[in-house]
Structure 1
Amino acid sequence: MTGQILEISDLSTGYDENDILHEISLLVREKSFIGIIGPNGSGKSTFMQVLARSLPVREGDIMLLGDSLQSYSFRDFGMKVGYVPQESEIKFKYPVYDVVMMGRNPHIERFRSPSEEDHEAVRRALTQTGTLELADRPITALSGGERQRVMIARVLAQDPVLLLLDEPFAHIDIHHQYELIRIIRETSKDKRAVIGVFHDINLAAAYCDDLVLMHDGRIRACGKPEEVLTTELIHEVFRIRPVININPITGTPFVYVEEEWKEPDVHKPSIHLISGGGTGSYLISLLSRSGYSLSCGVLAENDSDCLMARKNKVPTLAEPPFSRLSLEMEEKLSEQVQKADVVIVTSMPVGWGNYPNIRVLEQIDPKKIICILPSSEPFLPDFTSGVATETIKRLLSAGAHKISNPAELLEMMQSKIFSKDTMQ
């Protein structure tokens, strides 16, 4: 079992006479990266300020390495705890190198100059955060994202046992965001611990060992990401309708926000969507939210498009996975595409098993077909020796519409070409 770094017991505190935090208890062990999440006003930043000794404890105890947090001298506290606040305002034109060297102050004896070890720690931190090229520039001349990276470099140079990060990636571009969080995660594995406040709960879920969900100044839940990011808890605390899937890269929970389902608008044209392999999932969600009467298929029952369609209460023609379309299903599909006002086809993978999805389009007026395809060939993953591609080309030559970006779809659907009155 790893060693204990921080123990918080029944902590309550706040500003003026009002308590913001209520009965907070938490155990933090070494080699752990803990993410604090919660809605605005839940007490996340107040919690960090207490741990950084910027706000006093009113009730309860905070023990750091077995001793009271308040018992540490200023210097000893600086050697043990590093803190990056949300906003770090430095008004003087200190060079970036000097700002990062400030992180070494607790390690430097009075009236002594920085040692080679101190300089090496600063150079290493600048390199890790991608700020070495900024070393000679004044801190006041940097952008918000650059300044935040320098503040993270300073706390890395400080080499504390406990890192406190209050929304450290708020102003940082996506490249440096993921590079820095990777570095911080590695730091937590070296007998240290990291506690970070995250606005992006998906980022926290991907990189933190444990999550602490705060609500109304209390810890509502604490545990592994999959234990905290549940539909019930996210709905209760954030007041949203969450859809929780698994991030295919990290294997951790990923939270989407589900928009409210709308009843189909009878004044809008009906649509049948032919897709597969996940190429239609976004369109199913988009068209359902936009009030279109939608149907889908034929899809494999385990296809993500099929799962999305059923989740959105969309009538769907489906067959067992890896099976050819039956004649009965082809007849149902033929009826569906002829009945629909508009038929949309995506650049789905096509083999002989699902080729009837494409072949059936030659039975209807091509002017009511919208093909969402790449701007140039190959139009789709074709496993029919080019037969499916040739069918698509014939449809386009006969007047089927082609767009390359799903974002163009609603604009086309709202044009006079596909108005209900024009199509009747």
Structure 2
Amino acid sequence: MKDTILEISDLSAGYEEKDILQEISLFIREKSFVGIIGPNGSGKSTFMQVLARSLPVRNGDIVLMGDSLQSWSFRDFGKIVGYVPQESDIKFRYPVYDVVMMGRNPHIERFRSPSAADHEAVQRALLQTGTVELARRPITDLSGGERQRVMIARVLAQDPVLLLLDEPFAHIDIHHQYELIRIIRETSRDKRAVIGVFHDINLAAAYCDQLVLMNDGKIRAFGKPEEVLTTSLLKEVFRISPVIDVNPTTGTPYVYVEEKWKETDAQNVHIHLISGGGTGTYLISLLSRSGYSLSCGVLAENDSDCLMARKYDIPTLTEPPFSRLSQETEEKLTELVKKADVVIVTSMPVGWGNYPNIRVLEQIDPHKILCILPSSGPSLPDFTSGVATDTIKRLLSNGAQKKSSPGELMEILQTTQIVNDYK
């Protein structure tokens, strides 16, 4: 294909007598960002070493921009392909600026000094990676995260057509992690292709155009994140019980691992959850998967908690967004909280429109109320001039319990004596 940068056919490679990679076939197009995921030992780093020509091909073929990978001179290969390994092996005290300039070596003629364009490329890469302030420091004096940012700066200064990244964000703090992956993704929009190995599946899903799922040295799946990140595949390859949701920021798949809680007496306890504004989303999933009978509301129809409740087919009281609870809905709510064995209240935003969610709690035994509230600071975002907060305080003083995390909540629910008390 005209826009194909890399084409791999029936590739096998490995160490000594053992093949690590087997029958790998893949094509990478320009303007693409491809993430490689898989469990430890699945062959991800070996695959990257083969593409970087650090490990020879045993069988099969790799075609780079129309020519066999092995036919490229090392100098021309260095102009086309940039590689950031897991760990930097620079042992000498080179200044960071000089290390980044090394990325320009394939572009500088022998016995020539770097040109103005080379220095501009280095300055641009230092700015992009936030390493300008490190330029004069020895590379050996940097932390692991700082050193990795410098390695990424070096490959950006190299300006390759194909960029290979082997777990590039492993030691980088979350701020620089997201800044750098955004920059790298932008570079793939200008005819460049990027292939990166990721341990963080959700990071890969959020930023990569396509994912390659590897296991036992083979490609198990290749496609868009939503095509690769399926429950059956993740369960088989990673040996987990995955819950696949949607990242509310990016709209891409987001993978949770299902927590294993005891289900003792769960089927005998009915819980009503009062939440909103996303404060109950995780609880709805957790309680449902733990086997509890659950009802929710009152929630706005477009609230993320409401969407999660519908996902699990949970009976939910709803009202149109930004409307006050109707008398009919409030009566239904009162009936639900009175019938529930346990009522859980989250630190949801409360205004006059949804205040009846809180007010109705004064009609039931406060000992069956569990409040999931911050350990310090205000109990909840209160837009009722303190009325809702005062109601919560009265409930707590009269016997309602306050917990600060879902884990503490589950411990209470799964304590037999507490369950019996509620029953």
Q: TM-score w.r.t. structure 2 length?
A: 0.85
Q: Deviations over 1:180-232 (max 9, x none)?
A: 11111111122211111111111111111111111111111111111111222
Aligned with 1:333 (options 336, 350, 353) = 336
1:178 maps to what in 2? Answer: 178
Aligned-partner SS, 1:36: strand
Aligned-partner SS, 1:56: coil
1:22 maps to what in 2? Answer: 22
Residue 379 (1) aligns with residue 380 (2): yes
CA distance in 1, matches of 2:189, 2:53: 25
CA distance in 2, matches of 1:415, 1:241: 24
Q: Deviations over 1:315-343 (max 9, x none)?
A: x5533553745477346324324xx3x54
CA distance in 2, matches of 1:282, 1:256: 10
- CA shift in 2, pair 1:414/1:248, >3 Å: closer
- CA shift in 2, pair 1:64/1:257, >3 Å: same
2:71 maps to what in 1? Answer: 71
2:149 maps to what in 1? Answer: 149
2:98 maps to what in 1? Answer: 98
Q: Is the 8 A contact 2:269 2:293 kept in 1?
A: no
Q: Deviations over 1:384-404 (max 9, x none)?
A: x87655543543454544456
Q: Is the 8 A contact 1:264 1:293 kept in 2?
A: no
2:316 maps to what in 1? Answer: 318
**What residue identity is the alignment partner of 1:335?**
K
Aligned length: 416
Kindly report which structure 2 residues correspond to 1:294-313, keeping only aligned pairs within 5 A, or say none.
295-300=294-299, 304-305=304-305
- CA shift in 2, pair 1:360/1:256, >3 Å: same
Once the two structures are TM-superposed, the CA of residue 175 in structure 1 deviates from its matched residue by 0.7
Once the two structures are TM-superposed, the CA of residue 52 in structure 1 deviates from its matched residue by 0.5
**What residue identity is the alignment partner of 1:257?**
V
Q: Is the 8 A contact 2:63 2:69 kept in 1?
A: yes
CA RMSD of aligned residues (A): 3.3
Q: Is the 8 A contact 1:273 1:294 kept in 2?
A: no
**What residue identity is the alignment partner of 2:106?**
P
Q: Deviations over 1:27-77 (max 9, x none)?
A: 112111111111111111111010011111111111111111111111111
Aligned-partner SS, 1:235: helix
1:215 maps to what in 2? Answer: 215
- CA shift in 2, pair 1:223/1:270, >3 Å: closer
Aligned-partner SS, 1:169: coil
CA distance in 1, matches of 2:2, 2:204: 22
Q: Deviations over 1:149-188 (max 9, x none)?
A: 1111111111111111000000000111111111111111
Aligned-partner SS, 2:332: helix
**5+ long unaligned stretches in structure 2:** none
CA distance in 2, matches of 1:219, 1:423: 51
2:7 maps to what in 1? Answer: 7
Kindly report which structure 2 residues correspond to 1:19-418, keeping only aligned pairs within 5 A, or say none.
19-260=19-260, 262-265=262-265, 272-285=272-285, 295-300=294-299, 304-305=304-305, 317-319=315-317, 321-322=319-320, 324=326, 325-326=328-329, 329-330=332-333, 332-337=335-340, 340=341, 342-350=342-350, 356-373=356-373, 379-380=380-381, 382=383, 388-389=388-389, 391-396=391-396, 398-402=398-402, 409=409
Aligned-partner SS, 2:178: helix
CA distance in 1, matches of 2:52, 2:138: 26
Q: Deviations over 1:332-387 (max 9, x none)?
A: 324324xx3x543223355777655433322333344343346555834557x876
Once the two structures are TM-superposed, the CA of residue 142 in structure 1 deviates from its matched residue by 0.4
Q: Is the 8 A contact 1:297 1:333 kept in 2?
A: no
**What residue identity is the alignment partner of 1:318?**
T
**What residue identity is the alignment partner of 1:212?**
V
Taking every aligned residue pair, what percent have the same amino acid on both sides? 74
Q: Is the 8 A contact 2:287 2:294 kept in 1?
A: no
Aligned-partner SS, 1:213: strand
Once the two structures are TM-superposed, the CA of residue 407 in structure 1 deviates from its matched residue by 6.2
Aligned-partner SS, 1:222: strand
- CA shift in 2, pair 1:243/1:367, >3 Å: closer
Q: Is the 8 A contact 1:347 1:381 kept in 2?
A: no
Q: Is the 8 A contact 2:296 2:309 kept in 1?
A: no
